């Protein structure tokens, strides 16, 4: 059974060890997968961040360029408008100069020319016009009404009279602008006949020159606008990736500028949870080509990066020229994490082992107990054989003696032999009754006839019945019946047997002349009976078992003290039946004390 149990124990340990190794390998694989996933995602995140950053920069630059272009265009257009206003002003001045020149020529060529409006010109030049020309003639006549001299002047009645006193009249866009031609009413200097004369507002060569100047200014504006370039065109994704790829391949960019350490920690914790790892790791980021640590997370402590709990992986394995960097992750409580995953396995294995150990222990206990019971029964049978053999042999001898005619004729000898037979028969019956009493106690069939019993008087009665027995060994009895309330409720016969057994044991297990002390006292509501001797005593190991059935303190092959090993068991059962307790205090070679406590 022991070999089998050890075999099961070893197999369980082997199974747990293999399970631990398997879980450890699984943990390592999960961590390596996590680190690989973290590195891949970190590289993609960095690329995405770079793309987004570059895209944002390009968009910002485009917005700035667009705003600058709009400002430049606005400035050019404002400049163009200002130049156009200047040209318009110069054109008006030139037109005014031209018209004044023409007006001077007309005034020099004709007598009293007068500028008329377009409507008046149309009315005068049209046969059905509404305008009228009034001619006033002033004459000098004599007394005979003969005209000696005269002067003639005309007056035009028109509702629209214009002058050159406002430059805006030369602006084509002005509502007061003059028509394409300036109209004059003139008088022929030869005969004074009135006539109409038209002067173009702008001569053809001047108009062509103004048009060329405007076209040239417009062309200069277009050239300047063209020099600003077209509106910024959005980058294509491919060109953006190419730009970022070129920047990422630059050798001089340090690794701490390529990694967001906060994002790294968040990503690492998230990936560990995705791989069913709840341990909080310690991690560092360092250079691969130099012994230089760039980042240490806040929970890391020096000395916790043990080789068996530490994992390393390059951050940028595709970099050929730059330092790829190294991510080092350590799990200070790796073993506890693995054992927590093995909790169900460990619990089942430990439970099974405990059950096996309990069954094994109980089986050994039962075997040893049965063996001891068998030994005690054998000792009991031997003791009972010795105890029964003596009275039977004595009765047999006495019976054979009674067959002798000479003995039968001697009445004294006959009476003596009959007494011997009676005594031995009583002794034999006493032994049988003791065994039967124990059997009845075990079955609960022993009836107790309880009455008020004075224990002090009962002790005196027992001592009187044992006087010859005590005197035979020269026993010295010290009696201290100090109990003021000695009355208890119990069976007088069985109580006397209890006291008899304890005094008898004190007498039997004493070397030389026994010294027995019997005392009673009251403690609270109990009566205490102490029976003390100075005999051979016993060890603590034996004192724990003396109340067991058939148990006797071993004395080797000697059988100098008679008994069945039932007396103290009987004493304990009777005391318990009376709701009392019994205790033993013993020391080897110094004596034994029995203390009985009974309720008053």
Question: Last residue of a domain, which of 287, 305, 340?
Answer: 340
* Residue 317, Cβ density class (10 Å: 0-12 exposed, 13-18 middle, ≥19 buried): middle
In this predicted structure, the answer to whether residue 280 has a pLDDT above a threshold of 70 is yes
State residue 556's pLDDT score: 46
In this predicted structure, the answer to whether residue 487 has a pLDDT above a threshold of 50 is yes
State residue 115's pLDDT score: 75
Specify the higher pLDDT residue, 302 or 224.
224
State residue 598's pLDDT score: 92
pLDDT per position as a tens digit, 362-387: 998 999 888 887 877 776 676 667 66
Question: Last residue of a domain, which of 320, 340, 360?
Answer: 340
Residue 452 sits in the same domain as residue 593: yes
In this predicted structure, the answer to whether residue 308 has a pLDDT above a threshold of 80 is no
Percent of the chain with pLDDT over 90: 4
Q: Rounded to whole angstroms, how far apart are CA atoms 333 and 341?
A: 13
In this predicted structure, the answer to whether residue 298 has a pLDDT above a threshold of 80 is no
Is 181 in a helix, a strand, or coil?
A: strand
Of the segments 139-148, 427-436, 456-465, which one has the largest average pLDDT value?
456-465
State residue 278's pLDDT score: 75
Mean pLDDT across 279-297: 76
Contact (CB, 8 A) for 542 and 504:
no
State residue 597's pLDDT score: 92
In the chain, how many domains are there?
Answer: 2
Query: Does some domain include residue 484?
Result: yes
Residues 6+ apart with CB under 8 A from 239: none
Residue 452 sits in the same domain as residue 595: yes
In this predicted structure, the answer to whether residue 343 has a pLDDT above a threshold of 70 is yes
Domain residues for the domain of 313 are 255-340
Query: Does some domain include residue 91?
Result: no
Question: Last residue of a domain, which of 310, 340, 370?
Answer: 340
pLDDT per position as a tens digit, 96-105: 888 788 778 8
- Tokens 């082992």 sit on residue: 353
CB burial string 177-206: b at 16+ within 10 A, e below: ebeeebbbbbbeeeeeeeeebebebbeeee
Query: Does some domain include residue 224?
Result: no
Q: Which CATH number is 559's domain given?
A: 3.30.565.10
Mean pLDDT estimate for the chain: 75
Contact (CB, 8 A) for 309 and 330:
yes
Query: Does some domain include residue 129?
Result: no
Query: Does some domain include residue 59?
Result: no
Of the segments 145-159, 321-335, 565-579, which one has the largest average pLDDT value?
565-579
What DSSP string runs through 230-256? SPPPPPPHHHHHHHHHHHHT-TT--GG
Query: Does some domain include residue 535?
Result: yes
Least confident of 364-368, 432-436, 481-485: 432-436
Query: Does some domain include residue 284?
Result: yes
The pTM for the full model equals 0.39
In this predicted structure, the answer to whether residue 246 has a pLDDT above a threshold of 60 is no
Residue 332 sits in the same domain as residue 461: no
DSSP category for residue 552: -
Query: Does some domain include residue 544?
Result: yes
Phi, psi (5° rounding) for residue 475? -70, 145
Number of H helices, E strands in the chain: 14, 16
Residues 6+ apart with CB under 8 A from 569: 438, 547, 548, 549, 550, 551
Mean pLDDT across 388-406: 78
Least confident of 132-141, 287-296, 299-308, 545-554: 132-141
Of the segments 151-160, 190-199, 242-251, 554-563, which one has the largest average pLDDT value?
190-199
State residue 311's pLDDT score: 79
| pLDDT band at 162; cut points 50, 70, 90 | very low
């Amino acid at each position: 059974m022991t070999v089998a149990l050890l075999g099961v124990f070893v197999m369980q340990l082997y199974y747990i060890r293999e399970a631990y190794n398997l879980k450890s390998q699984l943990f390592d694989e999960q961590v390596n997968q996590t680190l690989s996933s973290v590195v891949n995602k970190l590289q993609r995140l960095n690329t995405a961040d770079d793309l987004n950053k570059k895209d944002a920069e390009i968009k910002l630059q485009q917005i700035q360029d667009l705003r600058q272009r709009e400002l430049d265009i606005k400035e050019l257009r404002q400049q163009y408008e200002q130049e156009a206003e200047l040209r318009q002003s110069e054109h008006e001045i030139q037109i005014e100069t031209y018209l004044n020149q023409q007006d001077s020529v007309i005034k020099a060529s004709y007598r009293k020319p007068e500028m008329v409006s377009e409507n008046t010109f149309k009315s005068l030049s049209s046969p059905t016009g509404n305008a009228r020309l009034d001619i006033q003639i002033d004459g000098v006549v004599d007394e005979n009404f003969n005209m000696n001299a005269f002067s003639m002047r005309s007056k035009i009645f028109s509702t629209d009279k214009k002058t050159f006193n406002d430059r805006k009249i030369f602006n084509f866009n002005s509502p007061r602008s003059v028509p394409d031609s300036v109209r004059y009413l003139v008088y022929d200097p030869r005969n004074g006949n009135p006539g109409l004369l038209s002067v173009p507002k702008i001569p053809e060569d001047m108009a062509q020159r103004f048009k060329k100047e405007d076209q040239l200014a417009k062309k200069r504006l277009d050239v300047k606008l063209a020099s600003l370039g077209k509106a910024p065109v959005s980058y294509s994704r491919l060109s953006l990736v190419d730009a970022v790829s070129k920047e990422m391949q630059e050798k001089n960019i340090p690794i701490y500028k390529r990694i967001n350490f906060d994002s790294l920690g968040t990503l690492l914790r998230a990936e560990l949870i995705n791989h069913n790892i709840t341990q909080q790791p310690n991690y560092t980021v360092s250079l691969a080509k130099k012994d230089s640590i760039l980042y240490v997370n806040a929970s890391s402590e020096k000395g916790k990066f043990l080789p068996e709990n530490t994992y390393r992986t390059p951050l940028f394995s595709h970099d050929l020229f730059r330092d790829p960097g190294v991510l080092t992750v350590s799990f200070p409580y790796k073993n506890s994490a693995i054992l927590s995953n093995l909790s169900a396995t460990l619990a089942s294995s430990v439970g099974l082992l405990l059950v096996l150990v309990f069954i094994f222990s109980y089986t050994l206990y039962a075997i040893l107990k049965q063996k001891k019971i068998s030994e005690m029964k054998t000792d009991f049978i031997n003791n009972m054989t010795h105890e029964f053999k003596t009275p039977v042999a004595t009765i047999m001898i006495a019976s054979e003696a009674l067959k002798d005619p000479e003995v039968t004729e001697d009445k004294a000898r006959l009476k003596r032999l009959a007494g011997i037979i009676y005594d031995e028969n009583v002794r034999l019956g006493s032994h049988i009754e003791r065994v039967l009493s124990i059997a009845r106690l075990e079955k609960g069939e022993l009836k107790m006839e309880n009455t008020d019993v004075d224990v002090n008087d009962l002790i005196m009665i027992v001592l009187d019945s044992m006087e010859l027995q005590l005197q035979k060994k020269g026993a010295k009895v010290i009696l201290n019946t100090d109990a003021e309330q000695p009355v208890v409720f119990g069976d007088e016969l069985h109580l006397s047997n209890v006291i008899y057994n304890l005094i008898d044991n004190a007498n039997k297990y004493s070397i030389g002349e026994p010294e027995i002390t019997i005392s009673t006292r009251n403690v609270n509501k109990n009566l205490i009976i102490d029976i003390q001797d100075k005999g051979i005593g016993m060890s603590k190991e034996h004192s724990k078992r003396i109340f067991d059935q058939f148990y006797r303190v071993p004395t080797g092959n000697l059988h100098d003290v008679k008994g069945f090993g039932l007396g103290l068991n009987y004493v304990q059962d009777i005391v318990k039946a009376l709701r009392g307790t019994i205790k033993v205090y013993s020391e080897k070679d110094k004596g034994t004390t029995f203390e009985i406590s009974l309720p008053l």
